[in-house]
Structure formats: structure tokens, C-alpha cells
Amino acid sequence: MRELVIATKNRKKLREIRQLLDGYKVKLYCLDDFPGAPNIKENGKTFQENAVKKAMRIAQFTKMLSLGEDSGLEVMALEGAPGIYSSRFGGWPKDDEKNNRKLLRLLKGLPLSERKAVYKSAVAVAGKEGLIKVVEGKCSGLIAYTPCGKYGFGYDPLFIIPKYKKTFAELGEKIKHTMSHRGQAFRKIKKTLIKLLQ
């Protein structure tokens, strides 16, 4: 069985990636499986830069096929913020609820029509020889007035899918994966992964 390292310590993200890779004949590892793995600073200017950096650094460290993913929320009324700072938008330590509270505070008073947002995800795959492929996925929606739902993580309780008039956190993982930014990115990289993991 082939092996793939997911370059993250984020348990919620890892769980979602495991679901998206369900059906692949692959043994998955994460950074917690490698004591001494480098702590990667997400200081790129784009999601792609951060995803590539994660995949490359971990592939070099482990000498194994590695996958890096970076994602976040861009809100039009906030000129694209929080963007690459999505996970630490509310300050340190990182906390989903703090991020959501700050977002709601900044959007206070705006009608739903002015609460447009895009979730974006970049996925990169690298081997010890270097970068193999990088792709992006995105999903458009609106920011709710209050958090709703119990599924997912991050900004999912606030991210409304207009077609359903519900947040990702209300729709649940199965429906979310069919349209989410991360789901789209993984579908784009599927052929590459299948070829690499044969």
C-alpha cells in the first residue's frame, strides 16, 4: 500500500481530508506521526504559496509523497479579509469562535446582499524530487448574521450556500463535500493522486 503524508496538525482539517480521500488505497500520515517535523510558517502571500511550502518542506523532511493544503475565507465587504489570515483572524491562540465573532462584528449592520464571500482552497502535492502539482478550488456564499449548525469547522457555521439557504454547518459533511472549496480542489487533483498512488 502506498503512503501519503498530510502536512497538517489540524485535527479537524485532517479528518475532512481523510473523508475526501476515502476510497483511495493509501495509508495516511500527519505531522504528529513525525517527531521533529519542521514547524512551517504560513507566511506566503497566497493560499497556493502556503500549500506548496507545506508540501515541499514535508516531502523533503520525510522523503515521502506529501500533500499540503491551505484555505480560507475572503469577504468582499472586507476587501478580501481575512484571506490567508483566516485561521488566526481573531488573534492567538487560534480559535474558530473568536474568528467568527470578529467577522460578525466587522460586518455588523450590513444587509445579506453585502455579505458576499468566497471560500478558497489550494492543494499541493510534492515528492522528495520536488513539486508535482498544485490546484485550487473555490465556493461562493454569504455570511450569516449568527452561527448556525453543528457540523464542520472554521467559518462553516456562518457560510451560507444560497441554493440551500443554509450554512455548511447545517448542511453536513456529505453535502458540503460535493460543493466545497476543498472538495473541488481534491477532485481536481484526483487523477494525479491516483497515478501517484498506484
Contact by Cβ (8 Å): 154, 147: no
70 catalytic, yes or no? Answer: yes
Q: Which of 70, 95, 96, 156 is catalytic?
A: 70
**55 φ, ψ (degrees, to nearest 5):** -60, -45
How deeply is 91 buried, as exposed, middle or buried, from its count of CB atoms within 10 A (0-12, 13-18, 19+)? exposed
Distance between CA atoms of 195 and 29, rounded to whole angstroms?
19
C-alpha to C-alpha distance for 98 and 87, rounded to whole angstroms: 10
Distance in angstroms (rounded) separating the CA atoms of residues 106 and 114: 12
Residue with C-alpha cell 503512503? 3
Q: Are 52 and 28 in contact (CB under 8 A)?
A: no
- Secondary structure class of 59 (helix, strand, coil): helix
**d(C-alpha 150, C-alpha 130), whole Å:** 39
Q: Where are the alpha helices (DSSP H) in 21-75?
A: 47-62
C-alpha grid cell for residue 128?
522528495
Active site (catalytic) residues: 70
